[in-house]
Amino acid sequence: MQLTTLRRAASLAPAPEPLLPARLRRPAAVLLAACVTVPVVLAVHFVGRGQPGWLDSAIDPRITDHWSSSALNQLLPRLGRPKPVALMTLVLVVACVATRGWSGAVLAAVAVPAATGLTEYVLKPYVGGPLDAAFPSGHATGMFALAAVWAVLLAEPPRLRVPAAVRVLLVLMALALAASVAVTMVAIGAHTFTDALAGAAVGAGVALACALAFDLVTSRARRA
């Protein structure tokens, strides 16, 4: 009797909501493929072995010359550190739970730590180490993972009636903030351009991979 009741309750429980609308899944997959390709190409062809590569030598001085705000150079690197990134992730998870966006809460709780963990514990030691480079940037990884999660959550929020123009503006603001942190790390000499670009690709790629994987699982659950 109890087993029957539990099965009936499970059948009546709503299936998890998809994160991405169907029309955006193919572009997301294409963008994911680009995010996987970029770090590989940079590591093979552009990262200098102990010295800046030719791409970094061409771009880094221009960033340093044009990004001279001392206030931003002090504030933005702090924003991309692990603790602030973890705090922003927690705020995002709590906001999703408060609006009953369970899928978004799971995405934020999984994607951002997975991206930073991949960079700090896999790519930096086993790719950046042999290349004698801080590759990829952990600051860029965390910030772009957050920005990508934010973009996924605003793609088509089921319970928030926000105009499309406002959602696009909010996503652009998040991407601009993430890019500012990455550029600042280059300006202060903590990373090269290739480090920052690879970190951005890893962060966005992991977030997109988690979103697409979650939607694949939820679509099968809905069919079942």
Measure the CA–CA gap between 167 and 59, rounded to whole angstroms. 32
CA distances, 162 to each of 7, 95, 165, 203 (Å): 37, 15, 8, 26
Convert the pLDDT of each residue in 8-35 to its tens digit: 544 444 556 788 888 999 999 999 999 9
Query: Comparing C-alpha atoms, which of 46, 67, 68 is closest to residue 136?
Result: 46
Tens digit of each residue's pLDDT (9 = 90 or more) over 77-131: 999 999 999 999 999 999 999 988 889 999 999 999 999 999 999 999 999 999 9
pLDDT on residue 147: 97
Collapsing DSSP to helix, strand or coil, 20 comes out as coil
Please tell me whether residue 210 adopts helix, strand or coil conformation: helix
